[in-house]
């Protein structure tokens, strides 16, 4: 949807300009674009530390693959939590440690490829379970640890988004700089033919348009998109947190999963009947039961 939105923005501007009788080739002003993009990039580098620049670059590099979780993702997560909670009640601490120390070769993780391919979720989950396996018993400390981990991730999401937002906020002013430079250049040719002078003034005005266009049609929307998708990922971790807290308080796997389900955003939340049907199907599958028993021997 992000790519389609960008194509719609660019095509609407170009087609609308052409329908008004404008020459699209006039909009191609490489000098002005170089000034705006170069100054903006330089200011962006100055205003952000290296580690944050690396985070921003990573998020932009993964922009096409960044997507919100949907109902199926949450169903898989709830099924994973249920199976893990059930196995943890039946197996020793040593056996559980073996699974979380190498999750990518773990039988408990391999059955849920959507979870296994999400490094952020796997790392968060294993880090929290590891604290339980090494003897942490205070539920308040455990909850604070999870909340701190989620808060750190939320701060990172907001820092990336705000940095891009501030870049977008500065682009109209940088476009004015390019326009002023263009006007200065045009004034140096004040004695030229009106056609030549008109082209130079038009090129100067395009600098202002280009800065505003980049700001409000591309950079700021991308900033908003990254923030919303980042917060959506945090809802996934909040769901894990709720399930773990209910689990370590001694509740059954089904109750812990129901507590986790209640934290899912309403637009993605599967119904209780959907979760129950999925878990009942797994419980009735003898292949799965035998597979767990065989692998843990």
Q: Supply the Cα-derived Rg of the chain in whole angstroms.
A: 27
Asked whether 175 and 40 are in contact (CB, 8 A), the reply is no
Q: What pLDDT is stored for residue 283 in this prediction? A: 64
Q: What is the pLDDT of residue 238?
A: 94
Angle of helix 71-90 versus helix 220-248 axis, rounded to 10: 30
Q: What is the pTM of this model?
A: 0.78
Nearest alpha carbon to residue 178 among 157, 201, 199, 208: 208
At 200 the pLDDT is 78
112: tokens are: 């849920």
pLDDT tens sequence across 81-126: 999 998 888 877 888 888 888 888 888 888 888 888 888 899 999 9
Report the distance separating Cα 222 and Cα 210, nearest Å. 17
Q: What is the pLDDT of residue 203?
A: 79
Domains in the chain: boundaries = 1-7+31-297
Closest listed residue to residue 46, CA positions, set 166, 202, 185: 166
- Per-residue pLDDT at 68: 67
Contact 263, 69 (CB under 8 A): no
Q: What is the pLDDT along the chain (297 residues), one digit of tens a residue?
A: 677 887 888 888 888 878 888 777 778 888 888 889 999 999 999 999 999 989 888 888 777 655 568 889 999 999 999 999 988 888 778 888 888 888 888 888 888 888 888 888 999 999 998 888 888 778 899 899 999 999 999 999 999 999 999 999 999 999 998 888 888 877 777 766 777 677 778 778 888 888 999 999 999 999 998 888 888 889 999 999 999 999 999 899 999 999 999 999 988 999 999 998 888 877 655 434 443 444 444
Q: What is the pLDDT of residue 297?
A: 42
Q: How far is CA 7 from CA 10, 159, 172, 218, in A?
A: 5, 27, 21, 11
Angle of the 220-248 helix axis to the 139-187 helix axis, nearest 10 = 180
Residue the block writes with tokens 């440690």: 97
Annotate 53-114 with DSSP letters as a single string: HHHHHHHHHTGGG-----HHHHHHHHHHHHHHHHHHHHS-HHHHHHHHHSGGG-HHHHT-HH
Q: SS3 sequence, 90-103?
A: HCCHHHHHHHHHCH
CB 26 within 8 A of CB 202: yes
CB under 8 Å to 241, separation ≥6 — which residues? 128, 143, 146, 147, 150, 263
Non-local (6+) Cβ contacts of 36 within 8 A are 171, 174, 175, 177, 178, 207, 210, 211, 214
> Looking at residue 198, what is its pLDDT?
73
Q: Round to whole Å and give the CA distance between 267 and 270.
A: 9
């Amino acid at each position: 949807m992000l790519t389609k939105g960008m194509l719609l923005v660019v095509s609407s501007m170009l087609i609308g300009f052409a329908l008004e009788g404008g020459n699209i080739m006039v909009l191609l002003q490489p000098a002005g674009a170089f000034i705006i993009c170069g100054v903006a990039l330089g200011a962006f580098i100055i205003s952000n530390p290296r580690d944050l620049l690396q985070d921003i670059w990573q998020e932009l590099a993964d922009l096409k693959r960044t997507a919100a979780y949907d109902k199926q993702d949450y169903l898989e997560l709830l099924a994973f939590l249920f199976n893990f909670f059930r196995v943890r009640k039946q197996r020793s601490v040593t056996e559980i440690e073996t699974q979380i120390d190498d999750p990518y070769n773990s039988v408990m993780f391999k059955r849920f490829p959507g979870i296994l391919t999400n490094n952020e979720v796997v790392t968060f989950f294993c880090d929290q379970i590891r604290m339980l396996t090494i003897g942490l018993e205070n539920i308040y400390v455990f909850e604070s640890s999870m909340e701190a981990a989620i808060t750190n991730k939320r701060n990172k999401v907001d820092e990336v988004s705000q940095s891009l937002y501030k870049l977008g906020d500065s682009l109209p002013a940088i476009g004015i700089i390019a326009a002023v430079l263009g006007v200065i250049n045009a004034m140096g040719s004040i004695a030229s033919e009106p056609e030549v002078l008109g082209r130079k003034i038009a090129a100067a005005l395009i600098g202002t348009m280009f800065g505003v266009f980049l700001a409000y049609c591309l950079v700021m929307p991308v900033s908003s998109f990254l923030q919303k998708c980042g917060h959506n990922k945090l809802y996934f971790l909040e769901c894990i947190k709720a399930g773990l807290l209910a689990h370590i308080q001694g509740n059954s796997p089904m109750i812990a999963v129901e507590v986790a389900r209640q934290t899912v955003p309403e637009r993605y939340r599967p119904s209780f009947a959907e979760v129950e049907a999925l878990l009942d199907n797994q419980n009735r599958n003898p292949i799965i039961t035998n597979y767990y028993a065989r692998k843990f021997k």
